[in-house]
Chains A and B, each alone.
Chain A
Amino acid sequence: MWKIILRRVLLMIPELVLLSIVIFLIAKLMPGDPFTGMITPQTSPAQIEALRVKAGVYDPWYLQYWHWIVRMVHGDLGMSYQFKTPVGSLILSRMGNTIWLHLLTLILSYSLAIPLGLIAGRYENSRLDKGIMIYTFVAYAIPSFVFYLLGVWLFGYKLRWFPTSGSVSVDVTGTLGYILSRLDHMILPACLMAVLSVTAVVQYLRSEVIDNKNQDYVKTARAKGVPEKTIFTHHIFRNSLLPIAAFLGYSITGLLGGSIFIEQIFNYPGMGLLFMNSILNRDYSVITALVLLYGTMTLIGSLLSDIILSLVDPRVRIE
């Protein structure tokens, strides 16, 4: 298996190079550049032009790409035109916020979705099952920003249970205070996201449980007199969780994606807003770094999913 993993990792390199070229080209094809709109009564067109030349905006794309690659190999992702700060540290600061928020969301989401999916599958067509199904449909259909705004209004302003914006209070003191404040700021957005993101897992799990209920091994167990509860906990649930485990790889790498809506509504500086604003402001160095990061994470996610699946299901082998 290790050989296969190594081969898959090596194969990623040409894939990422190709991806980065495509992204670089598309970014350059967009109208405008980071200096668009900077000519004002207070600025000189000559100075803005000089800054453009200095930034290499007029160099042919392959030259710009080459410079970028060379710098990247040396660990320098360039400077963000928009934030005037090294891209690496900018992404790292946002990444921290996003990872913690999405990790909490992931934990809450799976903690909610797995029991719901299993219950719905086990008690198929019962009132409980129907209730769960209605919840998943509503969660899937409701526009997320409406739900988030409602959540902020209710839990943030009416009940005043949670802070309504930012990632941490500016006036907290001490490390413990800082950690608690970070957590406090994450709970509401994470809960709201988790409540909305259960649909796929619940539905998959429910149909897996229903499918498994009629499998031969279940019939055999029943024929052997295994108690119903044990059949579910030891046989059906275990097998039904396999496809969910496969999801997990993508979910882990998806932690970095960020969510534009949640970040905007909560003024939570994360990767989603950074990516969107970089595109709007033609912040090439950030766009390319982020796309490459996302591309890498997607490829790793796919590999992780395969590995997890092979670990939890002995029938599946990576070959």
Chain B
Amino acid sequence: MKNKKFLQRLAVVTAVSLMTVSSVQPLTAKAVSFPDEYVNHKKALKNATLRVGYASDEPFKGIFIDELDSDGKTSVMAAPGSASLFGYDNDGKYVAGGFGNVKFDRKNNTALISITKKARWSDGEPVTSRDAAYAYEIQANKDSNSPYYNEMLENIEGVKEYHEGKADKITGLEEKDSKHLLIHFKELTPAAEYAGSGYVANVAYPYHYLKDVPFDKLVSSDKVRKHPLFFGPYAIKKIVQGESIEWVPNKYYGGPKPKLAKIITEIVPLSQAATAMKSGKYDVLLNTSSATYNKIKDDKKLVTLGSLGTGITYLGFKVGHADKDGKSVMDKSLPISNRALRQAMAYAMNVEAVTKKFGHGVTKHANTLISPNYGTYHDKSVKAYNFNLKKANELLGKAGFKRGKDGYRTQPNGKKLVLTMLDQKGSESNVAARANYIQLWKKVGLNVKLYSGKALEYNNYLDVLSSNKKHNFDLWISVWSLPPEPTSYPSYISAPTSELNYGHFTSKENDKLVAQMNSQKAFNTKYRIQQMHKWQQYMQKEAYVVPLYYQYDLETVGKNVKNISADATDVKYNLWDQVALTK
């Protein structure tokens, strides 16, 4: 279940946290950086209870098998009990040292999963190869209705037949003995070696405990929702559905002895989060929003930890449409297909200053579509589109977009130029951000109107965004939440046949780079990183999708907490067994 982040939903929401800006004005503010761990040298208390709040206005769903359904909150709140099956490095590549290890055999297209003896469920039973195989069966069985059954899974031999009900077993899953599972793939690519690629599941589920529950009843069963088993440092003692979870040490845990007597994780309403932390009600606040951070940043008893997420907020341009086979086709005749126009629009946005000033500094201006969270795969040498009205004007002038008498520019062919922006209904700050961008575009002579004249409700917005219609809008701002496998963006979002390629850009160069980064040659990590860097440079130059900013994942902790790290809720090793409380 630790692989929540692997299964993170794609959130297509506009998420620009800004306040109303009624006119274009100079904006200045200091950048903020966050530590990712808090060092506390005091002696740990014995028999302490750690109280953890998760800031949200909605109850958690409480489905403790992510493959069946994942609401994010449940997975993060389940972190004290969850543990990754495998370990991996800062780039997301599997390394030895977890509760299990995975070894790939490129020659035979197999992966051998070995489970160590130290891995035991919270009922004392050992974690077995059957439990690891069961995770694939849950995802693939038709009756479990998992939304995460996908083509990557079909890469395992026999999965398709099992899903279609033609076979009782997945032939590609060979249980060598109780601790070894050999997976036979149709094809192995370099992505397989990375967490979140979809090749190997970084989880196991207790088959001995769940085998009597039919697949169609799993999601609603008490064994999954009320009394789930874990092999992490803590086990659930009690759950109040949607509200809170009480954890006690898992006495069969194979790692270091947990330091706390009890952990209580509970939902704290957003409106109360800051007050609750200031009053000391919680020791840790997960999912700290920028607004909450702004209210508690000066409190001497608290520290806010942060790590940049894998997601990205971006400006997208719709430069094509999908043909009847669903394949993206570029519309070269569209004004927005002109690279200079796209680049000029990017240069005219004062992203850095606006987000720093009004987003309370919890964002980082993005220079590429791949976040620094991906380690060496992020190309820091790529230059961001920094606010430069002069350059924007120059680019437009050179490309033939001349200013008319009304101050607005016309197309190179002399026709009127009006660009349509698709926008999603959101907070006041979203309205302000959009208004600011439109005003700045106006400053360089670009007339940008809203689709339908207004921001659309989420479902409506998504309908329009994902429609295959020809030229119904030109640009939009949105967010991608991405899995930790570094090539997930290029592979899934920029592919010509991908339904997620909302802008429908496609080019031979893009296809070539994407193919190279997952070619057999790319098993050489250095080569793979090189291809990824090339792809980032290419995308930045073409500006089909302009990266705007990366968001920090924030976690606030009291100074009485020891061994806490922002990584505790991230994809790295599980660290909850180390967390302790001091005076």
B-contacting residues of A (Cβ < 8 Å)? 30-32, 35-48, 51, 54, 79, 82-86, 93, 145, 149, 152-153, 157, 164-171, 264-267, 269, 273, 277, 280, 282
17 other A-B residue contacts (CB within 8 Å) besides A41-B491, A267-B269: A32-B458, A32-B459, A37-B11, A37-B458, A39-B466, A41-B482, A41-B489, A41-B492, A41-B500, A43-B148, A44-B151, A47-B147, A157-B276, A157-B281, A168-B240, A170-B240, A267-B267
21 A–B contacts, CB within 8 A, in A order: A32-B459, A32-B463, A36-B458, A37-B9, A37-B462, A41-B483, A43-B147, A45-B499, A83-B61, A85-B220, A93-B241, A149-B271, A157-B279, A166-B267, A169-B244, A170-B239, A170-B243, A170-B245, A264-B57, A267-B59, A267-B267
Per a CB cutoff under 8 Å, which of A42, A86, A93, A282 touches B6?
A42
Q: Across chains A and B, which 10 residue pairs bring their CB atoms closest together, nearest first?
A: A32-B459, A40-B10, A44-B150, A41-B492, A170-B244, A31-B460, A84-B219, A166-B243, A170-B246, A31-B459
Q: Which residue from chain B places its CB closest to the CB of A33 in the assembled complex? A: B459
CB distance from B543 to the nearest CB of A (A): 22
Complexed CA–CA distance, A37 and B463 (Å):
9
Q: Mark B276-304, 1 if CB is under 8 A from A, else 0.
A: 10010100000000000000000000000
Main secondary structure of the interface of A (DSSP, over half): loop
B243→A171 contact, CB < 8 A: no
Cα–Cα distance between A38 and B150 once the two chains are bound (Å): 12
B243 nearest in chain A by CB position: A166
Q: Which of B7, B242, B246, B489 has the most CB of A within 10 A?
A: B242
> A40, A47, A171 — which one has the most chain B CB atoms within 10 A of its CB?
A40
CA distance A149 to B489 in the complex (A): 42
Q: Which residues of A contact B225 (CB under 8 A)?
A: 85
How distant is the Cα of A267 from the Cα of B9 in the complex, in angstroms? 24
Indicate the member of A145, A169, A280 with the most B CB atoms within 10 Å.
A169
In the complex, chain B residues whose CB is within 8 Å of the CB of A282? 459
Q: Is the CB of A51 within 8 A of B276?
A: no
Which chain A residue lies CB-closest to B270? A264
Is the C-beta of B338 less than 8 angstroms from some C-beta in chain A? no
Question: Complex formed: what's the CA distance from A264 to B8 in Å?
Answer: 25
Complex interface: chain B residues within 8 A of A36 (CB): 458-459, 462-463
B276 x A38 contact (CB < 8 A): no
- Our pick among B149, B246, B462 for the contact of A32 (Cβ within 8 Å) is B462
The contact string, 1 if C-beta is below 8 Å from chain A, for chain B 1-42, is: 000001111111000000000000000000000000000000
Tell me if A30 and B459 are in contact (CB < 8 A): yes
Bound together, the chains give a CA A43 to CA B58 distance in angstroms of: 24
The docked-state distance in angstroms from the alpha carbon of A51 to that of B144 is: 11
When distances are taken between beta carbons in the complex, the residues of chain A under 8 Å from B555 are none
Task: State the CA gap A36–B464 with chains docked (Å).
Answer: 12
Closest to A160 in B: B279
Residue of B at shortest CB range from A181?
B240
Q: Which residues of the other chain, B, contact A152 by a CB distance below 8 angstroms?
A: 272, 275
**Contacts of A41 on B, CB cut-off 8 Å?**
10, 482-483, 488-489, 491-493, 500
**B268 pairs with A165, CB closer than 8 A:** yes
Q: Give Cα A166–Cα B244 distance, bound, in whole angstroms.
A: 8
| B68 is an interface residue with CB less than 8 A from chain A | yes
Tell me if B198 is interfacial: C-beta within 8 Å of chain A.
yes
B376 at the A interface (CB under 8 A): no
Q: How far is the CA of A238 from the CA of B151 in the complex (A)?
A: 73
Residues in chain B near residue A44, CB distance under 8 A:
149-151
Across-interface contacts of A38 in B (CB, < 8 A): 9, 147
Min Cβ gap A35→B in Å is 8
Q: Which of B63, B244, B264, B493 has most chain A Cβ within 10 Å?
A: B244
Collect the chain B residues with CB atoms within 8 Å of residue A164's CB.
272, 276, 281
Cα–Cα distance between A48 and B462 once the two chains are bound (Å): 15
Task: Determine the residue in chain B with the shortest Cβ distance to A48.
Answer: B147
Instruction: Collect the chain A residues with CB atoms within 8 Å of residue B147's CB.
Output: 35, 38, 43, 47-48, 51
Identify A165's interface contact among B7, B246, B272, CB under 8 A.
B272
Q: Is B457 an interface residue (CB 8 A)?
A: yes
The verdict on B46 contacting chain A, using a C-beta distance below 8 Å, is no
The reply to whether B463 and A31 form a contact with Cβ atoms under 8 Å apart is yes
Q: Please, how many angstroms separate the alpha-carbon atoms of A35 and B459 in the complex?
A: 10
Nearest A residue to B456, CB-CB: A31
Of B63, B268, B275, the contact of A267 (CB 8 Å cutoff): B268
